[in-house]
Chains A and B, each alone.
Chain A
Amino acid sequence: MSGGWETVVGLEVHAELRTVTKLFCGCRNEFGAEPNTLVCPVCLGLPGSLPVLNRMAVELAMRVGLALHCEVRPSVFHRKNYFYPDMPKDYQISQYDEPINVGGWLELPDGHRVGIVRAHLEEDTGKITHVGGGGRIHEAAHSLVDYNRAGVPLLEIVSEPDLRSGEQARAYVAELRAILVATGASDGKMEEGSLRVDANVSVRPEGASEYGTRCEIKNLNSLRSLGRAIDHEAARQIELLEAGERIRMETRHWNEAAGHTVSGRTKEQSEDYRYFPEPDLVPVAPDDDWLAAVSASLPVLPAERRDRLAEAAGVAAGDVAVLVEMGLDDLVLGAIGAGADPRVAVNRAANEVAANLEAAAKLTVGAFAELVRMEAAGELTATQAKQVLAAMLESGGKPADIARARGFEALAADALTPVVEQVVADNPDAFERFKAGDPKIQGFLVGQVMKATKGNADGGRVVAELRRLAGLG
């Protein structure tokens, strides 16, 4: 951060778990259903109803906990009491001082580690729509409530204040989302509210060990909003402190259109939620067998997939992060395993395949490996290889067949030599300048060869041939 200040950010991420049913009842867990069609006595808080914990929700929480290197512990549910119509029971069932996952870490693609305080289970709330006053809460005439979302399982993942910028916070959420999707725990859709982020932001003089007073920013509905809101909020706090004022501990709301945060509730008094153990639920304590089974069912996680591909391709993990994010690592690894040139495989996947991701699923490892082999062997020029690959993605087929159909017959090494020799003979002055080391003339000579071969020659090999004839290679 500029001007001798350091930004400190901790994030609370709420992820809706991808179960079939809600956390404590058999109502379907589904986004976008008709209002109040997925409700029952339990999630409406009707008298006499009793919650029963969903085994799959516990298992998904365990998967995420293990993926984040947390300790999975025996845990207890509490009631968080408050009066607000988003929960018909007037309390939310949540985990309080004995959460299921504690003390882990997440590694960003650049190797930076972010501590995880906890990841606990709780139920989501209903959805409120304010009527009148332009939908704003303070001017609304009344409000309408849909309880379809009430009781949907949530995992609240709390990070340590280990993040130092909006950009790093974005990278953290992107990586966390990738882990949630990879473990099957959540669909990670921020736009549908499956993943919701609150940011605790403070600033302090560079080198200070004490944290400054923090503000909690809500309403961060996209990675873009998250990064912008944090940077803006840090700048606001720095401006206040430099003017000799102090920061008030409060909740602030991000306004994406206006590009700033606005003050919400002050948090000078901590809320009194009167947490107490939920008497209708017994503790959940996964035994060693269950833990081992869940651990064994974990897929290869993004960080490991990056390392695996980076090692096979001989590049840095950060350079293949995008390929892993797009799910193209298996394709590239398969091709390299089949003997394809790693550099060419990475380039073609990161460009042509990435440009047509929807079609990438039907691209076989064998066909891709063959295309990479043809390019690396000089049977296709880079330009031709790109066109053949685009055609393979568009309508399938084998690379050799497509190349032949397009007249991209391989210009074998023995066919190239006479063409280059002819160009050299036709342009003696230019070739003398090339021999003398004039760098500008090379492009002209290569161009002449391309013209003579209708573009079917590989630029790199033409240069090599020219240098050989000039006695330079």
Chain B
Amino acid sequence: MAERISAADVAHVAHLARLKVSEEEIALFAAQLGAVLEHAADVAALDTAGVPPTAHPLPVRNVLRADEERPSLDRQTVLDQAPRAEDDRFRVPRILGEAP
């Protein structure tokens, strides 16, 4: 089986998902993810030129709700679930970098 995904790819994906992985895990996941991609390659081998992409497995469209208010949650209950809160807001650690 040709290498479908490199160790560098695995490390990059892990970084994007903010996952800490060891060298051993990278090798393990590269092999496992490679097997998944191998399976996907079977589909890629088919001629799908005339087949529209599937956005959703169910043949359903336009699931909509009326623009009507529903009760929100109690603020104290919500903030009590957070690791830290301050001044009626969620307190988060110092942010490095700008919003996307």
In the docked arrangement, what's the CA distance between A78 and B26, Å?
A: 28
Residues on A with beta carbons closer than 8 Å to the beta carbon of B79: 36
Q: Which residue of B is nearest A126, CB measured? A: B90
Q: What is the distance, in angstroms, from A45's C-beta to the closest C-beta of chain B?
A: 12
CB distance from B29 to the nearest CB of A (A): 16
B64-100 contacts to A, CB under 8 A, are 64-73, 75, 78-79, 86-95, 97-100
The distance in angstroms between the C-alpha atoms of A56 and B75, with both chains bound, is 27
Contact call B73/A40, Cβ cutoff below 8 A: yes
Which residues of B sit under 8 angstroms from A274, Cβ to Cβ?
16
The answer to whether A142 touches B94 (Cβ under 8 A) is: yes
Q: Which of A264-292 contact B (CB under 8 A)?
A: 264-265, 271-274, 277, 279, 281-286
Q: Of all chain B residues, which has the CB nearest A280?
A: B56
Interfacial chain A residues near B90, Cβ < 8 Å: 36, 85, 144-147
- Chain B 7-33 interface 0/1 with A at a Cβ cutoff of 8 Å (1 = within): 000000000101000000000000000
A86 partner residues in chain B, CB cutoff 8 A:
99
In the assembled complex, which residues on chain A have CB atoms less than 8 Å from the CB atom of B49? none
Per a CB cutoff under 8 Å, which of A39, A131, A273 touches B73? A39
Contact A53 B99 (CB under 8 A): no
Cβ contact within 8 Å between B98 and A264: yes
Is A35 in contact with B69, judged by CB distance below 8 angstroms? no
Is the CB–CB distance between B95 and A128 below 8 Å? yes
Q: In whole angstroms, what is the CA distance A41 to B93 when docked?
A: 23
B44 at the binding interface (Cβ < 8 Å): no
- Decide: A273 near B100, CB < 8 A? Known: A282-B56, A282-B61: yes
The answer on a CB contact under 8 Å between B61 and A285 is yes
Residues of A within 8 A of B48 (CB): none
- From B60, B67, B88, give the contact of A282 (CB < 8 A): B60
Contact with A along B46-58 (1 / 0, CB 8 A): 0000000001101
Contacts of A39 in B (CB 8 A): 72-73, 75, 78
Given contacts A147-B90, A273-B100, A277-B55, are A285 and B62 in contact (CB under 8 A)? yes
B87 engages A144 (CB within 8 Å) = yes
Residues of A within 8 A of B61 (CB): 74, 282-285
> In the bound complex, how far is the Cα of B91 from the Cα of A129, in angstroms?
10
Q: Using CB atoms, name the residue of chain B closest to A35.
A: B88
- Residue of chain B at shortest CB distance from A253: B98
Q: Given A35-B88, A83-B18, A130-B95, decide whether A284 and B100 contact each other with a Cβ distance below 8 A.
A: no
Interchain CB contact under 8 A, B97 and A26: no
B60's nearest neighbour on chain A, judged by CB, is A282
For B98, list chain A residues within 8 Å (CB): 137, 251, 264-265
- Contacts A145-B89, A282-B56; is A140 near B70 (CB within 8 Å)? no
Closest chain A residue, CB of each to CB of B97: A265
Does the CB pair A144–B72 fall under 8 Å? no
Q: Which of B66, B87, B89, B95 contacts A84 (CB 8 A)?
A: B95
Taking CB atoms, residues of chain B closer than 8 Å to A285 are 61-62
Contact (A53, B65) CB under 8 Å given A25-B70, A141-B94, A282-B56: yes
Q: B67: nearest residue on chain A (CB-CB)?
A: A56
Q: Taking the nearest CB of chain B, how far is it from the CB of A248, in angstroms?
A: 16
Rounded to whole Å, the gap between the CB of A459 and the closest CB of chain B is 58
B95 touches A36 (CB 8 A): no
CA of A286 to CA of B64 in the docked complex: distance in angstroms? Answer: 11
Contact of A36 (CB < 8 Å), options: B62, B64, B75, B93:
B75
Do B60 and A26 touch across chains, with their CB atoms under 8 A apart? no
The distance from the CB of B9 to the nearest CB of chain A, in whole angstroms, is 12
B68 / chain A contacts, CB cutoff of 8 Å:
20-21, 26
Q: Which residue of B lies closest to A133 (CB)?
A: B94
Does A376 have its Cβ within 8 Å of any Cβ on chain B?
no
Chain B residues lying within 8 Å of A83, measured Cβ to Cβ, are 18
**Interface residue ranges of A241-277 to B (CB < 8 Å):** 251, 264-265, 271-274, 277
Does chain A have a CB within 8 A of B63?
Answer: yes
Q: Which of B60, B65, B71 contacts A52 (CB 8 A)?
A: B65
Q: Taking the nearest CB of chain B, how far is it from the CB of A141, in angstroms?
A: 6
B89 near A57 (CB under 8 angstroms)? no
Asked if A40 contacts B89 (CB within 8 A), the reply is: no
Is the pair B72, A38 in contact by a Cβ cutoff of 8 Å?
yes
Report A404 CB to chain B, min CB distance, Å. Answer: 53
Q: 7 A-B residue contacts at CB 8 Å?
A: A21-B67, A26-B65, A28-B69, A57-B67, A140-B94, A141-B94, A281-B56
For the complex of A and B, list the 6 residue pairs with the smallest distance between their C-beta atoms, beginning with the closest: A26-B70, A56-B67, A144-B89, A55-B64, A145-B90, A76-B55
Binding site for A on B (CB under 8 A): 16, 18, 55-56, 58, 60-73, 75, 78-79, 86-95, 97-100
Other contacts beyond A25-B70, A131-B86, A284-B64: 19, CB < 8 A: A21-B70, A34-B75, A35-B87, A36-B78, A38-B72, A53-B63, A74-B61, A82-B100, A85-B90, A98-B55, A142-B91, A143-B93, A144-B89, A145-B90, A146-B90, A272-B16, A279-B56, A282-B56, A282-B60
